[in-house]
Amino acid sequence: MGRGGGKPGARGAHAGRKQTWQEWIDDYEAASECIFKHDVEATVIEAGGLARISSFLPEFVAEGILTVLKSIPDSKWNETAAREDYRQNNISHSFSSVKQANGLDAVIRLFTLVRPEALHAFSAAKYCKRDHIAPHDDRAYTQVRLDSGRIITTSRDLAVIYYLTKDWKEEYGGVLVDLEDTAAGPSGRRYVPQWNSVVAFKVPRYHAVTALTTDRPRYSIFGWFLLPGKRYPLFTGDDLEQHKQRTLRAKHGQQPEQEPEEEGGEDEEEDKDEEGEEGEGLAAEEGAEEVQAAPRSHAGAAGSRGRIEQPAPKRHRGAEAGAASSHQGHSERRTEDAGAVVGGASAAMAMGSGQVGSRGGAVRSIVRLPGRWQGRRKHACI
């Protein structure tokens, strides 16, 4: 599937036998070629903001990832639940998630290839009976401490959900309902979890996850790619339908009604030391997220030979014009923030991966990554 291994001689070392799923993930060229061929972001844009991609990974890799999630002890899963409280930008939800577990780091590293060089926050999720997420649009801010020590505010921009549940039926629940796609009916389009598939969408987008009715758990990998700055106002308590309609008008190029500005600057520095979890499409809660900076480029990570180019996402002119108009007045600040993110990522090119553990996400130790996966460091969201 690729040209050369994730580390020198990797393909040769596996001659005469099949790679294990772990070896496949460590094989940078095989993994990156597989992810890049789906061109997730371009597919989402061409589909109008949300898309499903089937057979996302090789079957044996999907089976291996499912084994990882099933082997996570119950004590490791963090149960997350909250009642609806729009004053705190919270919606009703319940599910379990985990960011760190045996074998999970490599899995999350694989999905960062959807948007290389971007900050991101990914976790594994397990939905059990009655778990759900009420209608919401995924808007949330996350503060990221860069290697330089500077804290910037980021916004969720692209959501990705990878489903790992076989033979799922709609009546089992756990269905993602796209409330903005009314072509399928006034209640939106329903996406029943499909084995080894990805559903990805641009944020904000109104959706929900229906309550599970079965005793079977529903497993997934989920997360967001982040952009510097406050890209949208947060919902803080006005009528839900009014808020939804205002968002839809803005997406269709109509003049939106004015929403109140959030207090505080875009890069407001704070010193918090809390930990928590966020959910699949969940409004931001207080807590810490783990965010990584990807390699500067595939050429930088892999060298000039065997370079895999990521296809440039295809943009609609109307979407570009709308984005340019909506961000006018903030471009200089965001350019500065984007430069800080790139600088933070570039500063992280030392060989290895730092482990988040101490206050503010300071690097506690260095761990070598396989071959061309070198050059990734973890950052802390505070």
Nearest to 28 by CA among 381, 371, 337: 371
Q: Is residue 125 part of a domain?
A: yes
> For residues 356 and 291, which has the higher predicted lDDT (pLDDT)?
291
- Which residues span the domain enclosing 125? 40-294+312-334
DSSP state of 283: P
Q: Decide if pLDDT at 321 tops 80.
A: no
Amino acid at site 313? P
CA distance 159 to 140: 12
Q: Decide if pLDDT at 147 tops 70.
A: yes
pLDDT digit string (tens) for 248-265? 666 655 554 444 444 444
State residue 67's pLDDT score.
98
Q: Is residue 143 part of a domain?
A: yes
Q: Decide if pLDDT at 44 tops 80.
A: yes
DSSP state of 85: B
CA distance 76 to 72: 7
State residue 91's pLDDT score.
64
Query: Per-residue confidence at 325, pLDDT binned at 50, 70, 90?
Result: very low
Q: Decide if pLDDT at 231 tops 80.
A: yes
State residue 185's pLDDT score.
86
In whole angstroms, how far apart are CA 148 and each of 345, 354, 367? Answer: 10, 14, 20
Which sign does the torsion angle of CA 232, 38, 19, 217 carry?
Answer: positive
Across 39-68, b (16+ Cβ under 10 Å) vs e yields bbbebbbeeebbbbbeebbbeebbebbbeb
Helix (H) / strand (E) containing 201: strand 197-202
Q: Decide if pLDDT at 22 tops 70.
A: yes
Q: Is residue 183 part of a domain?
A: yes
Average pLDDT across the chain, whole number? 71
Mean of pLDDT values over 280-309: 38
Match 């756990």 to its residue by tokens: 174
Quick count: other Cβ atoms within 10 Å of Cβ 327?
Answer: 12
CA distance 137 to 143: 19
Angle between helices 59-71 and 104-111 (to 10 degrees): 130
Amino acid at site 197? S
Query: Per-residue confidence at 370, pLDDT binned at 50, 70, 90?
Result: low
Q: Which residues contact 325 (CB under 8 A, 6 or more apart)?
A: none
Quick count: other Cβ atoms within 10 Å of Cβ 123?
Answer: 23
> For residues 247 and 27, which has the higher predicted lDDT (pLDDT)?
27
Mean of pLDDT values over 279-292: 40
pLDDT digit string (tens) for 262-282? 444 434 433 333 333 344 444
State residue 174's pLDDT score.
96
Q: Is residue 132 part of a domain?
A: yes
CA distance 97 to 136: 19
Of 55-59, 136-140, 254-258, 354-358, the one with minimum mean pLDDT is: 354-358
> For residues 245 and 359, which has the higher predicted lDDT (pLDDT)?
245
Q: Decide if pLDDT at 166 tops 90.
A: yes
CA distance 235 to 140: 9
Query: Per-residue confidence at 382, pLDDT binned at 50, 70, 90?
Result: low
CA distance 1 to 159: 26
CATH code assigned at 249: 2.60.120.620
Nearest to 371 by CA among 283, 287, 302: 302
Q: Decide if pLDDT at 103 tops 80.
A: yes
Across 14-26, b (16+ Cβ under 10 Å) vs e yields eeeeebebebbbb
Which of 5-14, 27-36, 77-86, 278-287 has the largest mean confidence? 27-36
Q: Decide if pLDDT at 2 tops 80.
A: no
Q: How many folded domains does the chain comprise? A: 1
Cα torsion 221, 107, 341, 89 to 10°: value is 20
> For residues 26 and 1, which has the higher predicted lDDT (pLDDT)?
26
Mean of pLDDT values over 226-248: 74
